[in-house]
Structure 1
Amino acid sequence: MPAARESLLEAAYTALARRPWGGVRMVDVAAVAGVSRQTLYNEFGSKEGLARALVRREADAYLAGVDRALKEGGLDGVAEWTVVSARRNPLVRAALTGCWSERLPSPTLSAVPSSSSVPAQRRADGPLPGPGDFVVAVRDRSVVALGVPGAAKSEAEALARDCEVAVRLALSCVMAPPGEGGVARMVREVVRR
C-alpha cells in the first residue's frame, strides 16, 4: 500500500503544520488521506509509529537533497540546502539539532521492536538518526561525491575533514542564522577546495 502510506504521511505532515502533534488525531489523518482509520493502524501500528515514519521520511528527503546539492553546488550547496531545509521543515530542524519542541512529535531515537510486515515501517521502527548521525552521513556522502579515486591518504583525510567542517558550519547556521553572504560564503572561506 505505498500510495496509502505516502498519503497518510502527507496528511500527518499537513496536520502537524496546523496544530501541535498532541492535537493531531489519527482519525483526522486517515480521513484526509482518504483511507480508514484501520488502514492507518495497519500501516503504522500507533501514533508513535506514524511519528517515527514521518520523521524518517523527512530525514530521507533531507539526505536526498544533500545528494542533489553535492552534484549541483558541492559543499557550498550542501551547506545552503541544510540551512534552507531546516528553516522550511521543523522536523528536519529538530532531527538535525536534536531540539524537539512541544509542537512536534518526539519519537524515541532508540529502536522499537517491530511486528509490522511492512518493510518501510520496520525501517522506521529502527533507530532514528540523531544530529551526530547526520554529520557522519553528510560528511561521508560528500567525501564519496567529491573525492578523487586513487587520491593519497592525506588528501582523502583532508577532504573528510573539510567536509565535516562544512557540515558542522552549516548546522551552526541552522541554530544561529548567518549574516550577509550566507553560509555558502562562510564555507568557501573556511574550506578552500
Structure 2
Amino acid sequence: MPAARESLLDAAYTALARRPWAAVRMVDVAASAGVSRQTLYNEFGSKDGLARALVRREADGYLAGVERALSGPRDPRERLTATAEWMMSAAHDNVLVRALLTGCWNERLPAPALSAVPSSSGVPAQRRADGPLPSPGDFVTLVRDRAVAVLNGGGPLAPPAAVELARSCELAVRLALSCVAAPPAEGGVADLVRTALPRRLTA
C-alpha cells in the first residue's frame, strides 16, 4: 500500500524532527499516519526497517533533485553550478541527507548500516530499502556519472574532452560536499564552482 507507506515515512520524518530517533515510538508513528501499528510492521518489519526505508527515501529524493538541477536549459558550467547549489540546499534542509553525504550520524539520528541486511519482506519497496544504502563515496560517483551522462547528451566524446568533462563534474560534486561539511563564509558554493571550472566547459 504505497499511500500508507508514504504517510508512515512522512510521520517518521516529522517525529525525527521533534525528538531523537531512539525516542521515536512505532505506535506514535502509526497513530500520526492514521494507520494501525500492524500496518506499520507489515510494511517495514521493525523500527530498523522503518529507519532504512526513511533513509532510502531521502537518498532517492536527493538524487531526484540532482536530476532536476542538471536538466535546466543552461550551459554545462551553469548546470554544474546549479547542481552544487542543490546539493548544499538539500543537505542544509534535511538532516538525513546531510548525514548520508558526510557519513556523520549523530546520536539523534537513526544509523542504519550501509551494507545490505537480510530481508524477508513481502513489500518490494522494503526489500530495496534493505539493500545497500549509498555511502558518501557512492554519492560522488552517482552524481558525477549522472552529470557526465546528462551534459554529454549520450553522444560520444573524444578522450580529452571526456576526461575534462568527468573531472569537471567530479570537481563540482566534491566542492559541494566540502561546503556541506564546512560552509563557505561568503559567496557560496556557486562562486567556488564557477571559479574552479573551465570558462568553456565542453559537453
Q: TM-score range by the shorter chain?
A: over 0.9
Q: Could you give the per-residue CA deviations for residues 97-133 of structure 1, whole angstroms, max 9, x where no partner exists?
A: 0000100000011111110111100000000000000
Within 1, Cα distance between the matches of 2:160 and 2:36?
Answer: 57
Note the aligned Cα RMSD (angstroms). Answer: 0.8
Q: Cα distance, 1:166 vs. partner? A: 0.6
Within 2, Cα distance between the matches of 1:184 and 1:145?
Answer: 20
Q: State the 4+ residue runs in structure 1 displaced beyond 6 angstroms.
A: none
Q: Cα distance, 1:48 vs. partner? A: 0.3
Q: Name the SS of the counterpart of 2:71 in structure 1.
A: helix
Within 2, Cα distance between the matches of 1:139 and 1:7?
Answer: 32
Instruction: Say how many residue pairs are matched.
Output: 193
Within 1, Cα distance between the matches of 2:152 and 2:164?
Answer: 10
Within 2, Cα distance between the matches of 1:150 and 1:22?
Answer: 50
Letter in 2 for 1:17: A
Within 2, Cα distance between the matches of 1:156 and 1:119?
Answer: 37
Q: Name the SS of the counterpart of 2:27 in structure 1.
A: helix
Q: How do 1:95-174 and structure 2 match up within 5 A?
A: 95-147=100-152, 149-174=155-180
Q: Name the SS of the counterpart of 1:87 in structure 2.
A: helix
TM-score, with normalisation over the residues of structure 1? 0.98
Gaps of 5+ in 1: none
Within 2, Cα distance between the matches of 1:156 and 1:55?
Answer: 33
Q: Cα distance, 1:3 vs. partner? A: 0.2
Within 1, Cα distance between the matches of 2:185 and 2:169?
Answer: 21
Task: Determine the structure 2 residue equivalent to 1:66.
Answer: 66
